[in-house]
Each structure stands twice: as C-alpha cells, then as structure tokens.
Amino acid sequence: MQDAQWLREMLSQELEVRPPRSLKAEQKYLSSNIITLRVDGSLIGYTDIRDYGKAAEITTFIIDPKFRGKGNAKKLVLKAIEITPHKIILSCTRNPKMAAVLEGCGFEITHWPGLKEYILLTINTIKRVFSMIIRLEFKRLWVQAKGFTKYKIYKLQIE
C-alpha cells in the first residue's frame, strides 16, 4: 500500500502526467506493465509502459522531487529500455529535462512514429482528456492543453 500511496501523491502533485486513481486502483496498476526505481526499498521513480505491438510507449514518467537532478530519470529510462522487449520505444514530452534525458539515452525526435503507433498515441491522448474531465481535473487539463503543440514524439530504434 505504501507504493500506491507514494504514486498517488506524485500523480497529484505533477500536473504534466495522468491523474491519480483510487488507492486500490493504483495498487492494482502497480502490479501491471510498469517499471520502477527504488532506493533502500522505497519507490523513487515510476513509469508506465504501453504495449503497441511492435512498439512500446514510455509514459507517466515520474521521479520523486527529493531525488531529481541526480541522474535517476536516466537510470529509469535505461531500465525501461533493458526490460522492454520491443525494438521501438516511443515517448511524448514537452518537458526540457525529460527531453534531455531521452536524447541522452539515444532517442530522437520523430514526426511520424508509424500509422498504428500514431493512432494509438492519439487514442490514448483522447482517453487521458476524458479521464481528466471525469475526475474534474480541470487545472491538469488546462496545464496539458495549453502547451499541446509543444509536445514532441521521441523514438528509439534498437538494432
């Protein structure tokens, strides 16, 4: 339950990521397709991995504020690359730090991730908008919508 509490706290604070679900739902989610980073057994980093078939997307990427600026985001991206069996990994961001981390791990900006991937990324964006509306998270919706055009798709092709 401690992990789910941490995750809910992080998701509540960070308006650039998906909204938090109930404690029970986050607890269940923590046993699915996610990658974590721990220090002395405690969660300090979290990311969801979405399976798009040939490609995977790294999304909802968070490092605990107490552990930022120490290379932990890079560690988590490298762990995701190592664990994920996909040969193509995508990530969408407009956060300059996240962009620096992705570029440092070999990702490059792409304008066309592929038709299936583009459709799935769009569907997931629409789903996220609905999940924010349903939860009355209008501040979060505004923060994400106002800089929508600044989002870039990063792609890593593993040989």
24 versus 145: smaller Cβ distance to ligand COA: 145
Kindly tell me which of 38 and 70 has the beta carbon lying closer to ligand COA: 70
Over the range 92-113, which residues count as b (16 or more CB within 10 Å of their CB) and which as e?
bbebeebbebbeebebeebeeb
Site residues for ligand COA, window 16-45 (CB under 6 A)? 16-17
Q: Which is nearer to ligand COA, 101 or 115 (CB)?
A: 101
68-107 mask for ligand COA (x: CB under 6 A)?
A: xxxxxxx------------------x-xxxx-xx--x---
Q: Report CA-CA distances (Å) from 71 to 100, 112, 138.
A: 11, 29, 32
Q: In angstroms, rounded to a whole number, what is the distance separating the alpha carbons of residues 50 and 33?
A: 7
Nearest-approach distance from CB 133 to ligand COA, in angstroms:
20
In a 10 Å sphere around its CB, with 0-12 CB exposed, 13-18 middle and 19+ buried, how is residue 84 labelled? buried
Q: How far apart are CA 47 and CA 18, in angstroms?
A: 11
User: Which residue, 24 or 100, is less far from ligand COA as judged by CB?
Assistant: 100
Q: What is the three-class DSSP state of 73? A: helix
Q: Taking the complex as a whole, how short is the minimal distance between the CB of residue 6 and ligand COA, in angstroms?
A: 13
- Asked whether the beta carbons of 47 and 61 are under 8 A apart, the reply is yes
Interface pattern 42-61 for ligand COA (x via CB under 6 A): -------------------x
Nearer to ligand COA, 98 or 120 (CB): 98
Instruction: Supply angle C-alpha 25, 1, 19, rounded to 5.
Output: 40
The residues that touch ligand COA, with contacts defined as CB under 6 A, are 14, 16-17, 61-63, 68-74, 93, 95-98, 100-101, 104
